[in-house]
Amino acid sequence: MVKIFKFFIYLLILVSAFIYFFPKVSGYYLLEKEMAKYKVVFSKEKAVDNGFSLDIKHANLSYEAIKSASIENINVKIFGLYNAIDVENVKLLDVASSFIPLKIYNIHVSYTVINPLNIVGNAQGEFGVLHLTLHVVQRKLQVVLKPSKLMRSRYANTLRYMHKNSNGEYVYEQNIKL
């Protein structure tokens, strides 16, 4: 019993050391290079390795060379069994103001081996509260929005593209190609 306990302690120390010493900033820049192939570019950001997580501060997000959003902070945690991305204070481009409110307070996206077939996320912003699920095998995105008063009054046209359920929430489903 003691040998099994020691084995798991050594394994935990090894995995922790690997995560801690992994070059997260270099991995981020490699991922950024891969995202550029899809015309998604982060610029003016500062990447900081915090040991067990990576912080990306003051990033500008562009899609097809058009500035789309400014993001105050992104925190990335990759532990293998549980992975999460937390995004804070996102301001969308003013052009999007005809479709949705521009301020997103926070976004949390996670993936865990307990639920390996789904990537789940939550977001809060001027639009209300949003829950999303990406079904990995089915390649299906499901978004459930509990709209704010602002969203219901000024952006009712956007809500028409979503199905209203019995709880007063709006559901949008889309098959995606990865």
State the average pLDDT for the chain: 92
Q: pLDDT exceeding 70 applies to what percent of the chain?
A: 99
> How many angstroms from the chain centroid is the CA of residue 2?
41
- Whether 46 and 60 have beta carbons less than 8 Å apart is answered as no
Residues 6+ apart with CB under 8 A from 126: 101, 102, 103, 104, 148, 150, 151
Residue 177: per-residue pLDDT: 81
Answer whether residue 80 shows pLDDT above 70. Answer: yes
Phi, psi dihedral angles at 8 (to 5 degrees): -70, -35
Q: Where are the domains of the chain?
A: 79-178
Arithmetic mean of pLDDT, 120-148 = 95
Q: How far apart are the first and last CA of the chain?
A: 46
CA separation for the pair 65, 74 (Å, rounded): 21
- Give the Cβ contact number of residue 107 at 10 Å: 19
Arithmetic mean of pLDDT, 131-149 = 95
The token duo for 16 is: 């922790």
DSSP string of 84-126? EEEEEEEEE-GGGGGTS-SEEEEEEEEEETTSTTEEEEEEEET
Q: Give the residue carrying structure tokens 């007063």.
A: 168
Arithmetic mean of pLDDT, 72-81 = 92
**Could you tell me the pTM of the whole model?**
0.88
Dump pLDDT digits (tens) for 22-36: 999 999 999 999 999
Using pLDDT thresholds of 50, 70 and 90, give the confidence band for residue 178: low
Residue 2: per-residue pLDDT: 86
